[in-house]
């Protein structure tokens, strides 16, 4: 890999692509949860946040994979460090915990608990 991969212009490109992909990916993974909630008549106040919480781990995993493919596994920390330097612009919604698998799994478990709680309230 050349040194041109680890510059700010490339980081900006990766950042803009990730921002552009985030909403479509979020919607792609949120709709199955929402339709399951609709099928079991779970209240909307639970199904909408649950759908987002359910889709977030999948979206974050794909975007993390995009960063890994763009700069390489050994250099992705440089990109995340760069995001932390621009907290109020490019790294607006970035926090180091986002890339942790344990965090993503806990979001998934929380969404499952939400749908279980919604099923209890409908019965």
pLDDT (tens, 9 = 90+) of the chain, 123 residues, equals 455 678 889 999 999 999 999 999 999 999 999 999 999 999 999 999 999 999 999 999 999 999 999 998 989 999 999 988 888 788 877 888 988 999 999 999 999 999 999 999 887
Which pairs with CB-CB distance under 8 Å and at least 24 residues apart come from 44-47? Answer: 46/114, 46/115, 46/117, 46/118, 46/121, 47/115, 47/118
Range of the domain at 32: 3-122
Q: What is the DSSP letter of 113?
A: H
What pLDDT, on the 0 to 100 scale, is given for residue 3? 59
Q: How far is CA 49 from the centre of its chain?
A: 14
What pLDDT, on the 0 to 100 scale, is given for residue 51? 97
Q: Number of folded domains in the chain? A: 1
What pLDDT, on the 0 to 100 scale, is given for residue 1? 47
């Amino acid at each position: 890999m050349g040194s041109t991969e680890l510059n700010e212009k490339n980081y900006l490109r990766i950042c803009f692509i990730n921002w552009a992909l985030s909403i479509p990916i979020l919607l792609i993974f949120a709709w199955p949860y929402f339709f399951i909630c609709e099928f079991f008549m779970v209240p909307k106040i639970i199904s909408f946040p649950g759908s987002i919480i359910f889709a977030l781990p999948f979206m974050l995993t794909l975007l993390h994979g995009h960063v890994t493919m763009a700069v390489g596994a050994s250099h992705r920390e440089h990109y995340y460090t760069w995001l932390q330097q621009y907290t109020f612009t490019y790294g607006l919604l970035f926090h180091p915990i986002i890339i942790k698998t344990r965090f993503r799994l806990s979001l998934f478990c929380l969404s499952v608990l939400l749908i279980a709680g919604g099923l209890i309230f409908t019965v």
